[in-house]
Homo-oligomer: A and B are copies of this chain.
Amino acid sequence: MPIPGSPPDPVPERPVSPEEMRAWAALLETTAIVQHAADRRLRTAVGMPAAQFEILARIFEGPKEGLRMTEIADRLVVSPSGLTYQVTRLVERGLLERGTSAEDERVVLARITDAGRSVVAQGVPQYVDVVTTMLLDHLTSNDLTTLADILEGVRGQLRSAPLRPRRSGASRSTKRR
């Protein structure tokens, strides 16, 4: 609990336009709705939460040797401990195998099994259907390109600046077509 009387810890003031808040609010709400829907769909379709399915899918796409725990956690934006939990679930179901890296004994590689591949094959159409129906179908291909460009640009910046981004750089932005 923060001390109630402590100094308000000032922050670089910067007026935010309503336009900006609209954008952020819409972003949050839209992704939340679609994610929830995808989660429910996957639970009934392949009997696992979206969180687990996404892990499986990432490893499926990756190299045959498997992926490092840390890499997966970074990509999916979950804590290391949270990832351990889900991977353990998936191993219990025989969809993943744990292995240790040859070069670095500390590293755990998560490798997908045939059963795992089968689940991914079953789930992907379901997942895609939800995202397509709820989101993609409502966008023009122009919208899509714009979205992808904008967000990938931002994501790139964020990857390199985890928590407290540099104060330096000014707004670099995506060009509109």
> Are A138 and B153 in contact, CB atoms less than 8 angstroms apart?
yes
- Are B24 and A173 touching (Cβ within 8 A)? no
Interface size class, chain A: 35 or more
Which B residues are in CB contact (< 8 Å) with A37?
163
* A40 engages B163 (CB within 8 Å): yes
Given the interface contacts A2-B44, A13-B125, A145-B19, does A137 sit within 8 Å of B171 by beta carbon?
yes
Partner of A173, one of B19, B27, B47, B140: B140
Q: Does chain B have a CB within 8 A of A91?
A: no
Q: Of B11, B47, B77, which contacts A2 at CB under 8 A?
A: B47
Residues of B within 8 A of A107 (CB): none
> Once the chains bind, are B14 and A151 in contact (CB under 8 Å)?
no
Are A158 and B33 in contact, with the CB atoms below 8 A?
A: yes
Report the nearest B residue to A153, measured CB to CB.
Answer: B138
Contact between B11 and A77 (Cβ–Cβ < 8 Å)?
no
Chain B residues with Cβ under 8 A from A150's Cβ? 139, 143, 146-147
- Taking the complex as formed, is A102 at the interface, i.e. its CB lies under 8 A from any CB of chain B? no
What's the minimum C-beta distance from A100 to chain B, rounded to whole angstroms? 28
A88 is an interface residue with CB less than 8 A from chain B: no
| Residue A65, interface by CB 8 Å | no
Q: Is the CB of A136 within 8 A of B176?
A: no
Supply 14 further A-B pairs (C-beta < 8 A) apart from A2-B45, A24-B131, A134-B154. Answer: A9-B45, A11-B125, A11-B129, A16-B131, A17-B141, A19-B141, A24-B135, A26-B155, A27-B151, A28-B35, A133-B165, A134-B165, A137-B170, A146-B146
